[in-house]
Structure 1
Amino acid sequence: MIDFIRQPVLPFYGIPSAETSVSPLGNGHINDTFLVRWPLGELVLQKINTQVFKTPNELVDNADKIAHYLSDKQACGDYSLKVVKPVRTQDGLLAVDLGERGFWRAINYLPHSHSIEVVSSEDEAFAAAKAFGHFSSALSSLDATELADVIAQFHHLPGRIEQLQAAVAKDSQARVNSSREWIDFALSQQSLLKELSDISPKLPLRTCHNDTKINNMLFDKRDMSSLAIIDLDTCMKGHLMYDFGDMVRTFCSPEEEDSTALENVHVRESIFAAICRGYLSELGEVLSREERASLWLGARVICLMIGVRFLTDHLNGDVYFHIHHENHNLERAANQFTLYKSLLEQQENLLAFLN
């Protein structure tokens, strides 16, 4: 793919293929991401997965709107992080659509940036949660309905449960029998649906990041301060409880999300507390009473729902998330369900930090 990038793609950006280096960047599950460097500059180039993002032009339009909005906030002194901005083609376009050869977009590269996969301290958790809270606070005055829904019903647990049930019924890869333990567990947790139906109508629609994984907040490797919020692909209208929940999901375990060391997968209480402190320090005055009450539900729903999504993809033949070996998505599902169990077991103690 790297040779392909050099010839058909880079010329759209006026980048000569000679003396240009192209290397994979990050470990995202969905898109293919590359760092492009040449004597006069550098940028991040992505091939958007159009099987997942079926309206990629809406995706890049959303990201452009958010970049402009945050840049204006930054100019007024109301946003202190770096802004990830689109790099336009020589013709002023936000993306390059090569049909079957891919949909490509470029964004600015942030020097000195550093991402982590596992939170190792309360300070890291606090800084990242505060940064995500700062991002959401800055966008709280942006009309969320101005953004297109790039994935319909993205955080919709009833729909995800239905997709799992359909995958079980079809069993296209003959994987149901070997996955039965986790299928039965996931389907036994549908009491969350009632909680969601009760509170969701009371929550305002916000501009949400919708993918607040720890590796979507960049640190400045010179001093490990917060640098930028990245991966704006799923930014669209939604409820902030899911942003909070995804931080809990990806910050709190001492193991990565595909670790098979399930005996070590648990919610670290001190990290959960740091998330609450950091996030609410930025959003405490923004959140409504109902939104604040929804945060604990968001943590549970996201952990369960991501497990359901991994499990469904495993049953369907691994068509959504990139995998690196057989049963990778089943291992990820087991990891997430184990973390969800830990949340339930520690509910009383963890709720105290939100209250």
Structure 2
Amino acid sequence: MIDFIRQHVLSHFGVDANDAKVTPLGNGHINYTFLVRGLNRDFVLQKINTDVFKTPTALVNNAHKISQHLHKKVAAADYGLQVVSPEVLANGDLYIDLGELGFWRGMNYLPYSHSIDVVGCEADAEMAAKAFGHFSSALTELDADLIEDVIPNFHHLPGRIELLQQAISADSQNRVAQCRDWIDFVLSQQDLLQELAQVETKLPHRICHNDTKINNMLFDKRDMSSLAIIDLDTCMKGYLMYDFGDMVRTFCSPEEEDSTALDKVQVRESIFGAICKGYLSELGDTLSDDERKSLWLGARVMCLMIGVRFLTDHLNGDVYFQIHHEGHNLERAANQFTMYQSLLNQQDTLSAYLN
């Protein structure tokens, strides 16, 4: 793919392939991301997965609107992080659509940036949660209706379970039998679905990041402070309980989300407490009482829902998430279901941090 980029893509960004170095960047599951280092500038280049993001122009336009809003907040000294902005092509556009050869967009590269995949200490958890809270707080003044839905019903647990049931019925890869225990476990969680139906009707729609993994908050290498919130692809209207829940899902385990060492996969109480402290320090005065009460529900829903998505993709033949070996999505699913069980086992202790 790098040879293709050099031959067919770089020129659209005003870059001479002879003067540029292109290398893979990050470990995302969906899009293909590269760092382009040229004579005059460095930038991030991304091929959007249009099987997942069927309206990629909406994705780019959303990111542009959000970056413009955040730049205004920076100018007014109301936003303390750096801003990820679209890279403008040579013709002034924000993307290049090459049809079957891909939909490409660029973003500014932030020097001194560093990401981590596993939270090592309470200080990092609190800092990252504070940064995500700061990001969400800054967007409360931007009209949520200006942001398009790039993936309808993205965080909709009943719909995700319905898709799982369809995958079970089709069993296109003959994998249902090996997953039966986890399937039965998911389908037994009807109480959570009922609780969710009661709570969502009480919550306001806000612009949410919708993918608050620890590696979507960049640290500054120079002092390991928070630098920027990245990956705005799934920014849409939603409920903040899911942003909180995704932090819990990805910050609290001492293992990566595809670890098969399930005996080590658990919610670390101290990290959970640090998330609550950091997130609420930025949003505590913004959240309604119902939103604050919903955060514990969001933690449980996100662990179960991402597990359901991994399991569904495994049953369907791994068509959504990039995998590195057979059974990778099943391993990810088992990991997330184990996190969900750990939350349930510590419910009284953990939920007290939000009271």
TM-score (ref. length: structure 1): 1.00
AA in 1 matched with 2:218? L
User: What percent identity do the matched residue pairs reach?
Assistant: 71
Q: Which residue number corresponds to residue 53 of structure 2? A: 53
Map Cα deviations across residues 65-111 of structure 1 (whole Å, 9 max, x no partner). 00000000010000000000000111111100000000000000000
Q: Which residue number corresponds to residue 244 of structure 1? A: 244
DSSP 3-state at the match of 2:211: coil
TM-score (ref. length: structure 2): 1.00
Q: Which residue number corresponds to residue 308 of structure 1? A: 308
Q: Which residue number corresponds to residue 154 of structure 2? A: 154
Q: CA offset at residue 40 of structure 1?
A: 1.4
DSSP 3-state at the match of 1:348: helix
- In structure 2, distance between residues paired with 1:185 and 1:57: 38
Q: Which residue number corresponds to residue 100 of structure 1? A: 100
Q: CA offset at residue 242 of structure 1?
A: 0.1
Q: CA offset at residue 41 of structure 1?
A: 1.2
Q: Which residue number corresponds to residue 75 of structure 2? A: 75
- In structure 2, distance between residues paired with 1:205 and 1:19: 46
Map 1:268-307 → 2, pairs under 5 A:
268-307=268-307
Q: 2:325 matched to 1:325?
A: yes
- In structure 1, distance between residues paired with 2:320 and 2:176: 18
- In structure 1, distance between residues paired with 2:20 and 2:88: 19
- In structure 2, distance between residues paired with 1:219 and 1:132: 12
The list of structure 1 runs, each at least 4 consecutive aligned residues, that deviate by more than 3 angstroms after superposition, is none
Q: Which residue number corresponds to residue 116 of structure 1? A: 116
Q: Which residue number corresponds to residue 6 of structure 1? A: 6
Map 1:119-130 → 2, pairs under 5 A:
119-130=119-130
Which range moved further: 180-189 or 65-74? 180-189
- In structure 2, distance between residues paired with 1:4 and 1:45: 13
- In structure 1, distance between residues paired with 2:54 and 2:19: 34
- In structure 2, distance between residues paired with 1:256 and 1:322: 16
Aligned positions, number: 355
AA in 1 matched with 2:27? N
Map Cα deviations across residues 105-144 of structure 1 (whole Å, 9 max, x no partner). 0000000000000000000000000000000000011111
Q: 2:220 matched to 1:220?
A: yes
- In structure 1, distance between residues paired with 2:348 and 2:180: 30
- In structure 2, distance between residues paired with 1:189 and 1:24: 40
In structure 1, stretches of 5+ residues that fail to align are none
- In structure 1, distance between residues paired with 2:143 and 2:92: 26
- In structure 1, distance between residues paired with 2:337 and 2:219: 29
Q: Which residue number corresponds to residue 175 of structure 1? A: 175
Q: CA offset at residue 19 of structure 1?
A: 2.4
- In structure 2, distance between residues paired with 1:187 and 1:81: 41
Map Cα deviations across residues 293-327 of structure 1 (whole Å, 9 max, x no partner). 00000000000000000000000000000000000
- In structure 2, distance between residues paired with 1:286 and 1:213: 22
DSSP 3-state at the match of 1:302: helix
Q: Which residue number corresponds to residue 88 of structure 2? A: 88
Q: CA offset at residue 39 of structure 1?
A: 1.8
RMSD: 0.5
